[in-house]
């Protein structure tokens, strides 16, 4: 049965999970031991941790923005929406782990595998986003309410369809070039930061 109520509790719980996940990222940046003779050098050697932290911070933030965009359309929730949203949050909470692995190995011998793990995590999250959205669209007359914007729904669908394919490409690219894979990740994050109305101008804008 559909639960005829607003999705405020889902959004509030999800916001809390996003907030915790994004906060945990900073724990991987370690404070140098007191009395270190060359503090500047110790801080500089942690550059992979800074890079991983900043990138994942903005990636989680962009996921939060997109989650908010979805629930401006999803007005009601059934049991499937609850479960799919929970599965999506499972992916979000896992982000600090591949971030820590990347921070430890970026610039070293294990950076290729670390980047593959990092990309794999975001590939799974992108799939979860798509499953949640596609299911909601399939039930839009029940979940979106009467006055939903069909054009806006189609634009989000078009934008999201790109995510899993490009994250898969990032994963494969990591085997050949970690730097290129990381830059493609950043470009994809910027793409998902754009409002769907602007993002779909880069491809076919559905009518």
- Is 70 exceeded by the pLDDT of residue 203? no
**Burial call 176-202: b when 16+ CB within 10 Å, e when fewer:** eebeebbebbeebbebbeeebeebbee
**Which residues sit opposite 77 in a β-bridge?**
3
**pLDDT computed for residue 206 by the predictor:** 40
Is position 207 within any domain?
Answer: no
* pLDDT, position 183: 92
Residue 2 is assigned to a structural domain of this protein: no
In a domain, 126, yes or no: yes
Across residues 20-30, what is the average pLDDT? Answer: 89
Q: Give the pLDDT band (50/70/90) at residue 199.
A: low
Global pTM? 0.84
Give the DSSP per-residue string, 136-167. HHHTHHHHT-TT--HHHHHHHHHHHHHHHHHH
Buried-state track 109-125, b at ≥16 Cβ within 10 A, e below 16: eebbebbbbbbbbbbbb
Angle CA 69–148–137, to nearest 5: 70
In a domain, 182, yes or no: yes
Element (H, E) at 7: none
What domain range includes position 88?
Answer: 8-202
Q: How many domains does the chain have?
A: 1
Closest among 138, 155, 139 to 197, alpha carbons compared: 155
Asked whether residue 3 is domain-assigned, the answer is no
Q: Is residue 1 a part of any domain in this protein?
A: no
């Amino acid at each position: 049965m559909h639960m005829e109520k607003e999705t405020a509790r889902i959004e509030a719980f999800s916001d809390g999970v996003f907030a915790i996940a994004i906060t945990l990222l900073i724990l991987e940046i370690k404070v140098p031991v007191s009395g270190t003779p060359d503090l500047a050098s110790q801080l500089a050697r942690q550059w992979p941790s800074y890079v991983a932290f900043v990138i994942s911070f903005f990636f989680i933030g962009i996921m939060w923005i997109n989650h908010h965009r979805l629930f401006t359309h999803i007005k009601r929730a059934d049991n499937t929406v609850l479960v799919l949203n929970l599965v999506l949050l499972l992916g979000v909470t896992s982000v600090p782990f591949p971030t820590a692995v990347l921070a430890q190995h970026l610039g070293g011998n294990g950076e290729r595998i670390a980047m593959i793990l990092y990309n794999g995590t975001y590939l799974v999250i992108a799939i979860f986003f798509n499953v949640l959205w596609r299911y909601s669209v399939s039930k839009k007359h029940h979940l979106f309410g009467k006055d939903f914007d069909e054009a806006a729904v189609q634009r989000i669908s078009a934008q999201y369809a790109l995510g899993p394919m490009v994250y898969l490409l990032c994963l494969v690219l990591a085997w050949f070039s970690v730097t290129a894979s990381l830059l493609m990740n950043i470009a994809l994050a910027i793409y998902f930061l754009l409002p769907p109305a602007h993002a779909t101008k880069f491809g076919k804008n559905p009518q």
